Amino acid sequence: MTILPNSLHARDVAYQFHPYTNARRHERIGPMVIDRGSGVYVYDDQGREYIEALAGLWSVAVGFGEQRLVDAATRQMARLPYYHTFSHKSHEPSIELAEKLVKMSPDGLDHVFFTNSGSEANDTVVKLAWYYNNALDRPQKKKFIARNGGYHGITVVAGSLTGLQVNQRGFDLPLPFVRHVTCPHHYRYAEAGESEEAFADRLAAELEATILAEGPDTVAAFIGEPVMGAGGVLVPPRTYWQKVQEVCRRYDVLVVADEVINGFGRLGTLFACETFDIKPDLLVVSKQITSSYQPLAAVLFSDAVYQAIADQTERLGNFGHGFTASGHPVATAVGLENLAIIEERGLVANAAKVGARLQAGLATFADHPLVGEVRGIGLIGAVELVADKATKAKFDPPGKVGLYLFERAQEHGLIVRAIADTIAFCPPLIITEAQIDEVLARFGRALDDTQAWVVAGMPAV
């Protein structure tokens, strides 16, 4: 596109530095400026319509332009636009949402700490685990085990838990308290002829060996997304989480479930912990808690963790951690209304029903020459593009083909996400079967455009 002087596009290039963006490329091509949204659609400043098939950033559960959330925010802004939760202060929306989360979450999670983002929440998880082990006079039990391919945020600590090179190259991460183990992606990391069950056994054995090598008295927690999101929508073998938890319990290692993407219906169950029978000591939620209409995240944790921490606050006189906007009244009011909409409209059941149509539709692309694997569960899915179906060989350089397809999809009115050469789908929970069919049709056209380009030798564009 031509970037006109003094346009929004030119001013964006001049003044705003974007996350997850090649800055030099951005200077050349400029931004897509999104002007408004309605339901599963967004519209750019030229009036073009797109199906937002990634729900923004895996997060807009109830769709764009939901008036009830606007009204909830407006009412709270008029009544109490801001107050903090430091030093025994509180307010009604944060109290009600904390109670709501405890009552709706998996059994055994009895206390809530609010943050503004999933990254802050996972930083808080690390600090809680350290504080907890100090309280129990276990000062060496501080290491975290995460997975290659996992995503837990981008702050210094959360970025260390993350297992993706794109988030660590150039930043001197990860910090030395984190160990990473094998990603539970059978398609890429199983040995020849290895069943999913055997693969899960091997990964559990690797986790146990890692704990023993580090020393069980030094390992505080294991953290993982039930289904990995930003790593490429990676669904683990069904028995994987059961085996991992058995290892963690054997060595008194806390289990942390990061449901920032999975939570509040995405997999067709209220929480992914239900799908995979995970019984976490700590649970992290964000994104769909407010449909991202307001920044909000929360850490839910067990009473056993709380009691040790509470005793330590008595000894030390304070819990020296928190954020200016922890439990922000407008954000928590919007969160309450958003969860009410999810419940009243049966959006978890809709994710299961419509998600089945998405998964079946994506599966029809499995035989396409560019497609190596189709995967997903509920209303989250992915199509991985490969250079050779038989050998699973990746394209060289990685990401070039995925970016081309991503841009062709936008030309066809579809916003997806390219994770290297994996195309991810995560539409709003309100999406209908007819809209899913349109997503699939537009993706099919973009995939065929990409195939023609690859056959032509991937000429410069």
SS3 string of the chain? CCCCCCCHHHHHHHHCCCCCCCHHHHHHHCCCCEEEEEECEEEECCCCEEEECCHHHHCCCCCECCHHHHHHHHHHHHHCCCCCCCCCCCCHHHHHHHHHHHHHCCCCCCEEEEECCHHHHHHHHHHHHHHHHHHCCCCCCCEEEEECCCCCCCCHHHHHHCCCHHHCCCCCCCCCCEEEECCCCHHHHCCCCCCHHHHHHHHHHHHHHHHHHHCHHHEEEEEECCCECCCCCECCCCCHHHHHHHHHHHCCCEEEEECCCCCCCCCCCCCHHHHHCCCCCEEEECHHHCCCCCCCEEEEECHHHHHHHHHHHHHHCCCCCCCCCCCCHHHHHHHHHHHHHHHHCCHHHHHHHHHHHHHHHHHCCCCCCCEEEEEEECCEEEEEECCECCCCECCCCCCHHHHHHHHHHHHCCEECEEECCEEEECCCCCCCHHHHHHHHHHHHHHHHHHHHHHHCCCCCC
Give the span between the Cα atoms of 214 and 211, in whole angstroms: 5
Torsion over CA: 320, 321, 322, 324 (sign): positive
Domain annotation covers residue 7: no
Instruction: Identify whether residues 205 and 270 lie together within a single domain.
Output: yes
Are 231 and 417 in contact by the 8 Å Cβ rule? The answer is: no
| Domain end residue (candidates: 310, 329, 344) | 344
CATH number at residue 433: 3.90.1150.10
Domain annotation covers residue 18: no
Are 206 and 181 in contact by the 8 Å Cβ rule? The answer is: yes
Domain annotation covers residue 15: no
Q: Which of 329, 308, 332, 328 is nearest to 319 (CA)?
A: 308
Instruction: Identify whether residues 174 and 246 lie together within a single domain.
Output: yes
> Given strand 417-419, what is the order of strands in its sheet?
371-377, 380-385, 422-425, 417-419
Give the span between the Cα atoms of 354 and 458, in whole angstroms: 35
Instruction: Identify whether residues 81 and 212 lie together within a single domain.
Output: yes
Q: Which of 147, 373, 360, 372 is nearest to 240 (CA)?
A: 147
Instruction: Identify whether residues 192 and 340 lie together within a single domain.
Output: yes
Domain annotation covers residue 12: no
Instruction: Identify whether residues 45 and 76 lie together within a single domain.
Output: no
Instruction: Identify whether residues 95 and 184 lie together within a single domain.
Output: yes
CATH number at residue 123: 3.40.640.10
Domain annotation covers residue 237: yes
| Domain end residue (candidates: 314, 344, 374) | 344
Identity at 288, one-letter amino acid code = Q
Instruction: Identify whether residues 260 and 208 lie together within a single domain.
Output: yes
In sequence order, the β-bridge partners of residue 179 are 145
Instruction: Identify whether residues 176 and 296 lie together within a single domain.
Output: yes
- Give the per-residue pLDDT at 398: 95
The number of beta carbons lying within 10 Å of the beta carbon of residue 99 is: 12
Instruction: Identify whether residues 155 and 193 lie together within a single domain.
Output: yes
- Give the per-residue pLDDT at 250: 98
Domain annotation covers residue 3: no
Domain annotation covers residue 413: yes
At 239, list the tokens: 């028995």
Range of the domain at 350: 32-62+346-455
Q: What is the pLDDT along the chain (461 residues), one digit of tens a residue?
A: 688 888 999 999 999 999 999 999 999 999 999 999 999 999 999 999 999 999 999 999 999 999 999 999 999 999 999 999 999 999 999 999 999 999 999 999 999 999 999 999 999 999 999 999 999 999 999 999 999 999 999 999 999 999 999 999 999 999 999 999 999 999 999 999 999 999 999 999 999 999 999 999 999 999 999 999 999 999 999 999 999 999 999 999 999 999 999 999 999 999 999 999 999 999 999 999 999 999 999 999 999 999 999 999 999 999 999 999 999 999 999 999 999 999 999 999 999 999 999 999 999 999 999 999 999 999 999 999 999 999 999 999 999 999 999 999 999 999 999 999 999 999 999 999 999 999 999 999 999 999 999 999 999 87
Instruction: Identify whether residues 215 and 314 lie together within a single domain.
Output: yes
| Domain end residue (candidates: 344, 360, 386) | 344
For helices 240-250 and 196-214, the axis angle rounded to 10 degrees is 20
Looking at the whole model, is its pTM more than 0.95?
A: yes
Omega within 30 of 0 (cis) for the link into 369: no
- Give the per-residue pLDDT at 287: 98
Count of domains observed in the chain: 2
Instruction: Identify whether residues 166 and 309 lie together within a single domain.
Output: yes
Domain annotation covers residue 6: no
Instruction: Identify whether residues 148 and 237 lie together within a single domain.
Output: yes
